[in-house]
Structure 1
Amino acid sequence: MSDQTSDNAARPESQKSGPASGQTRRRGAGFWALWGGVGAVALVAASGGAGWVFLSKADLGRFVARRATAALGRTVEIGSLHVTPGRWLKVEIANARLANIPGGTGPDMVRVGHLAAEVNVSSLLHGPMLVRHVAISDVYVMVERTPQRVPNWRFGKQAEAGAKPAPHPAQSGPDDRSDYPTALDVAVQKGEVIYRTAHGSEFRTTLKTVTLQTDGADKPVHLAVDGAYNDTPVTMTATMQPFSILRQTKTPYGIDMEAKSGDMTITFRGTATDPINADGIRGAVTFNSPTSRPMMQIAGLPAQQDIAVQMSGQFEHEGDLWSVTQGQGMVKDNPMTITLMRLVEGSHGKPDHITADIAFSQLNLNEFLSHQKAASPTQTDMPLTVDPAPDPLVDAHLSVKKLSYNVLTFSNMTLAASVAPGAVAVDTLSLDYLGANLKASGKIEAADKGASHVGASVNVSGADIEKLRQVLGFGPVPLQGRVDMQMRADATQKTLNAAVHAADVAAAVSMTSGSLDRKVIGLVSADLRMLFNKPKGMTPVACMLGVVSSRAGVGQALPLRIRTGDGTVAANARFDLSRKWFDLTFGSQASTTGRFALDIPVRVSGSFSSPKVRPASWSAEGRAMMAQTERLNTLPAGVKQFALKNACYRAIGP
């Protein structure tokens, strides 16, 4: 029991434990087959005085090894086994080994250098067995599957079944514990337990010392473990219910445990319906680590920075299911609520599956993605990494009230995403920024040379022009109101920032209510009446529609129409976002202006903050370019459908 408890206490949830959950049951079969042989010898000896003399002198190793070999269908060897008679029968075993299956990594599944114990003779007759002064040293256990997925922890008929799955605990029920022995004190020194997957990955638990002590069958049991998991030091202490409760198979067994590794502390207080196999576990769990480095070391992941983590919740482990619910916590000063974190272990070569539903009141991604303490927030970036065969698979729902990324701050963010073989799918992404709402969906797929292809559809509604021009660094603009946008973006890059800067974008921008400065209409129409009466105020915008295309931040808006009661403005624009430069030519549509209008186009070009304004030529070629209605037909389907709904779609023409 101590081996299994320590193994599961140190093991992170993201690592498979199905075989490990069953390893105590399988090792127990070998252990009790061994003790069965010893007990048989003791009972024979107890039947007469001659037996006592025989026991005191004989080496029973070969006899017991033959019985264990027959019971297990696997070779058992015992270097020596001596029994000293008395009310407490002393048993001492040296150099015992249980052979591995053919094709296993090594020749042995279990080795025990030395085992000594005292067994109460009357308990052999009346049960349950009572043992004390159990001392075990130099223990080695290898639990593995061969590349053909044959497990080495099955014996007899189970071994003949090969790689067929064992019954689920919920179907087979916990082991019968009614005859489980009482061990008053146990000490284990120098132990090693290895779990090896069919793919060759090893998870190693090293046991320096394990001690178990109780004052009687009806007294609490105290367990202490000092060891390491994957070379990361781990200690554990536990107070458990008496052995008399353990023997009540249908009664959940109470466990109060604390595990530590470096600055990481994990506590658990709850019960197990199948404690021998560390299954059917339910209870309250807490986790605290000011740096999270021990957790990362145990998981075999690099710890590039210190991330303080605190968490509490209700923990459950049943068969292949591990979960935390009703959770509260803090990740680097970011409060979180855990509705669900669930791991379902994969079987027969299938990956694990994680489902998560987590909410943050605030989340500053710069704290996690900027690896250098002095790094500027603008250096924050996210790698676009896609695993062709991910393990585990992930379905996650994340919500954040306030999200910070680089110099941007978003609100009311919700994300539903999944990790599948060769792809990361964003089913929905919604957030608010500068009063506008953004909804997006897309997919990240593996590409050549370590890059990934990102494809996304984005809908923006209610973007305020005044707020946008301030963020982009534009000077004052004569257009007011809110715009909507439908966009399709594609890029093949290695990081998120690189994908944003290099993306190919096709978009339609629409306004159905807003206002335009009347001076613009007068300026672009060159209305002679402006010589005597300059127009003032704003005129309502009936509709606005622009088709935007860009590559790596360099692109054009063409065609572009703004229709008002005072006239219709047609325009085309080129821009370079990295240089913060643009070139805009716009003019009035002659059929919409008065008889005094000369309809002379105007050109505005230069930096976003201080452009130059001057008259522009308005050739037939230029008019035709601005009227390019056929460009609407080249838009992605979703973007084109969005443009068709705008009244200015019908106004685009020569």
Structure 2
Amino acid sequence: MPTESTSQGATHSRPVEAVLAHPWRTVAVVVAAGLLALLLLWDWNWFRGPVERIVSARTGRSFDIGGDLDVDVGRTAVIRADRLTLGNADWSDSPDMATTDRLELHVRLWPLLAGQVHIPELRLRQPDILLEAGEDGGNWRFDGMSGEGEGPRIDLLHVESGRLRYVDAARETDVDLGVASEDTEDPSVRPLALSGDGHWRGAPFELTGAVASPLALRETETPYAIDLRASAGATRAHARGAITRLLGLSAFDLQMALSGKDLEDLYPLLGIAMPHTPPYELDGRLVRDDAVWRYEGFSGKVGDSDLGGTAKITTGRERLLFEGDLHSKLLDFDDLAGFVGGAPDSGAGETGNAELEAEAAKRAAAGRLLPDTPYDLHKLRNMDADVRWKAARIEAPGWPLDDMDVRILLEAGLLRLDPLEFGAAGGRIRSTVRMDARQDAIQTDAAIRARGLELGRLLPDNELAQGAVGRVSGDIDLSGTGNSVARMLATADGDATLGMGRGQVSNLLLELAGLDIYEALKFLIGKDRQVAVRCAFGDFAVQDGVMTTRALAFDTEDTIIIGEGTIDLGEEQLDLLLKPRPKDRSILALRSPLVIDGSFRDPGFRPDMARLGLRGAIALALGSIAPPAALLATLELGPGEDSTCGGQYAK
């Protein structure tokens, strides 16, 4: 019995002896058991305080974990924290920069031993993030964090019912967006849906669409998908496609469509000073290379004109620089009205801007023709520009314009159009214009050179002028002060000279101009014929906006017309007297001086009634004695003589 008992005791004690024989195994078992118990029973909320202090020290902001902190340990640890709050910059009126109802962070443990942070998944529930711009920069800049070095690797981001706000009070911008991850078969490419509204540069703003996960921004070689539609006031933009070059946000390219009712609306939104225009639609490729933004290969319409080319904006300078190489196959001349402070005169079937046309109607009701809308001095001083614009064909009813070539140069308030060139009536009109807006009142100097304009095409709507032959040339040099076209011309000083060499015009036109009833009836009943023109010449001195004739003559083989008078550019009034002097004899001639008067908008062309009335009275008196004698009062003996006119243009 004792032997058996001893044998059994020895058998039961062998495992204990084995453990006692290897003490390190004993320690391992105890530690493992303790860790298991600790992990199962440990309250991870004990770490909330240390974590809050570490984050606050790293960011310089307050940080609070208002809910539970929990950790599931494994090769990939899962950290969950509820009701997180990150404080805002001390200059902000809003106490919180970011909050989230729950953060779930998956962290690979083994890479931590090598100093690498690998996060396979990051999930946010109801995050609310405020990005706010201030005088010293954005609230996304944290004290003590340089942003240098390699950040954590995050494979997947999932946002549930998020909110993103951007505020820039100085620029009247406040945008509030809803953000949520969209479900896809491949979670690694799960896009973010965006939708919201607010104000951008003071204009009502809306945005909808989707972008790839922001985690994809780190992949510089992988296209970043984007499809966003935004509107600010009446301006709309659609950015879509895949950004094929991306490094942070300093370099990218994508397709961008722009449309709106007026290109001038781009100034408050983007800082690009443009004139008033009719509605526009453009589409092209938007490329950013650090401080340079290029709108490449765009095409579309502005009003009833097509417009294409490339535009470039350079930021980071004292003044924004706008450069462009633009072209139009067909340019509706009405669409240029905004460049001179006017409004498009849109007819039936044309594209118009209702607000601009309402302003034009007010000016028309006041009987004024010249644009009097002041130029915005702030715009002229706040942007630099170098733009070349060519139009192959111009549609301008009533104007004999063929094509256009203009270069617009703007630097610190000094604007130059050099050249401003039009093909007109088979010839060319080349101008240089200099507008100095560096003072309170714009000083304008204009030099206009017209060469080889065909006389018949200068009056395209006049049937009697269709057969006219001759080429007109001239020089106009003006200087004026004022902030609108009307004011500049009202103060203008300078010279204006026009001349024409040999040609021919309708004899009927000349006889009607001279009120030679017999000759006019003869050509009306029979067949009109052309009369040779020897020359024509007009020379005006311009002072304080008033053009005064120094010489004015139109000489043909049978009539010379000489003139005198003034054209008031400020009051928009005509006061010219034309005196026909026939070189032949005719009866039924009422060769009284002709008066051109009235306003620019409603000019008048009539005989001098006082002198015409005197001739009529003589004819009635003679007719009462003997009817045939009345013809003596209208008999013209032809005192006109050939003149020497045309000057350097009489070629």
TM, length-normalised to structure 2? 0.64
Q: Which residue matches 2:377? A: 387
Cα deviation digits, residues 144-173 of structure 1 (max 9, x gap): 334xxx7765556898xxxxxx9xxxxx9x
Q: 1:183 to 1:71 in 2, by over 3 A?
A: same
Cα deviation digits, residues 426-470 of structure 1 (max 9, x gap): 22211234444221111233488x764432111112234455468
Q: Which residue matches 1:443? A: 434
Match for 1:495: what amino acid?
A: S
Q: Which residue matches 2:540? A: 548
Cα deviation digits, residues 51-72 of structure 1 (max 9, x gap): 7755533262x53344334434
Report deviation, 1:112.
Answer: 1.8
Q: 1:324 to 1:224 in 2, by over 3 A?
A: same
1:358 to 307, 319, 326: 326
2:474 to 485, 509, 523: 485
Match for 1:412: what amino acid?
A: D
Report deviation, 1:97.
Answer: 0.8
Q: Secondary structure at the match of 2:373?
A: coil
Q: 1:437 to 1:512 in 2, by over 3 A?
A: same
Q: Which residue matches 2:625? A: none
Match for 2:153: what amino acid?
A: Y
CA distance in 2, matches of 1:357, 1:378: 34
Q: Which residue matches 1:57? A: 45
- Please say if residues 64 and 84 of structure 2, whose CA atoms lie closer than 8 Å, have aligned partners that are also in contact: yes
Q: 1:213 to 1:117 in 2, by over 3 A?
A: farther
Is the counterpart of residue 458 in structure 1 residue 431 in structure 2? no
CA distance in 1, matches of 2:40, 2:83: 18
2:209 to 220, 232, 237: 237
Q: 1:145 to 1:293 in 2, by over 3 A?
A: same
Cα deviation digits, residues 486-527 of structure 1 (max 9, x gap): 1112333443355456644412223344369999xxxxxxxx
Match for 1:222: what amino acid?
A: P
Q: Which residue matches 1:84? A: 70
- Please say if residues 505 and 550 of structure 1, whose CA atoms lie closer than 8 Å, have aligned partners that are also in contact: yes
Match for 1:582: what amino acid?
A: L
Q: 1:139 to 1:220 in 2, by over 3 A?
A: closer
Range 121-130 or range 316-325, more displaced: 121-130
Match for 2:70: what amino acid?
A: T
Q: Secondary structure at the match of 2:81?
A: strand
Q: Which residue matches 2:104? A: 118
Q: 1:455 to 1:304 in 2, by over 3 A?
A: closer
Q: Secondary structure at the match of 1:268?
A: strand
Q: Which residue matches 1:312? A: 283
Q: Which residue matches 1:204? A: 174
CA distance in 2, matches of 1:335, 1:460: 27
Match for 1:439: what amino acid?
A: R
Match for 2:282: what amino acid?
A: M
CA distance in 1, matches of 2:563, 2:280: 53
CA distance in 2, matches of 1:336, 1:218: 43
Match for 2:382: what amino acid?
A: D
Q: Which residue matches 1:267? A: 239
Q: Secondary structure at the match of 1:383?
A: coil
Q: Which residue matches 2:630? A: none
Q: Which residue matches 1:224? A: 193
* Structure 1 residue runs without a partner (length 5+): 1-45, 160-165, 167-171, 520-535, 594-601, 616-625, 630-642, 649-654
Match for 1:182: what amino acid?
A: D
Is the counterpart of residue 582 in structure 1 residue 559 in structure 2? no
Q: Secondary structure at the match of 2:118?
A: coil
Match for 2:254: what amino acid?
A: G
Report deviation, 1:218.
Answer: 6.8
Q: 1:305 to 1:459 in 2, by over 3 A?
A: closer
Is the counterpart of residue 194 in structure 1 residue 167 in structure 2? yes
- 1:88-487 residue pairs with structure 2 within 5 A? 88-100=78-90, 104=91, 106=92, 111-122=97-108, 125=111, 128-146=118-136, 154=141, 179-187=152-160, 189-195=162-168, 200-207=170-177, 209-213=178-182, 219-230=188-199, 232-240=204-212, 247-248=218-219, 250-261=220-231, 264=236, 266-274=238-246, 277-287=248-258, 308-337=279-308, 339-347=309-317, 350-360=318-328, 361-363=330-332, 364-365=334-335, 366=344, 367-368=352-353, 371-372=356-357, 379=364, 381=371, 383-388=373-378, 390-403=381-394, 408=399, 410-446=401-437, 452-468=442-458, 481-487=470-476
CA distance in 1, matches of 2:357, 2:103: 56
Q: 1:55 to 1:400 in 2, by over 3 A?
A: farther
Q: Which residue matches 1:34? A: none
CA distance in 2, matches of 1:358, 1:303: 14
Larger relative contact order (Cα-Cα within 8 Å, sequence gap ≥ 6)? 1
- 1:594-609 residue pairs with structure 2 within 5 A? 604-607=593-596, 609=605
Match for 2:412: what amino acid?
A: P
Q: Secondary structure at the match of 2:108?
A: helix
CA distance in 1, matches of 2:363, 2:99: 59
- Please say if residues 100 and 124 of structure 2, whose CA atoms lie closer than 8 Å, have aligned partners that are also in contact: no
Report deviation, 1:405.
Answer: 7.3
TM, length-normalised to structure 1? 0.63
- Please say if residues 272 and 280 of structure 1, whose CA atoms lie closer than 8 Å, have aligned partners that are also in contact: no
Report deviation, 1:391.
Answer: 3.4
Report deviation, 1:269.
Answer: 0.8
- The structure that has the greater radius of gyration is 2
CA distance in 1, matches of 2:356, 2:650: 50
Q: Secondary structure at the match of 1:322?
A: strand
CA distance in 1, matches of 2:237, 2:254: 16
Cα deviation digits, residues 3-62 of structure 1 (max 9, x gap): xxxxxxxxxxxxxxxxxxxxxxxxxxxxxxxxxxxxxxxxxxx998647755533262x5
Report deviation, 1:77.
Answer: 3.5
Q: 1:123 to 1:362 in 2, by over 3 A?
A: farther
Q: Which residue matches 2:618? A: none
Match for 1:282: what amino acid?
A: D
CA distance in 2, matches of 1:538, 1:306: 45
Q: Secondary structure at the match of 1:278?
A: coil
Cα deviation digits, residues 371-430 of structure 1 (max 9, x gap): 246966984847341424743333222233455679657331222113333333222211
* Structure 2 residue runs without a partner (length 5+): 1-33, 336-343, 345-351, 509-528, 584-590, 597-603, 613-642
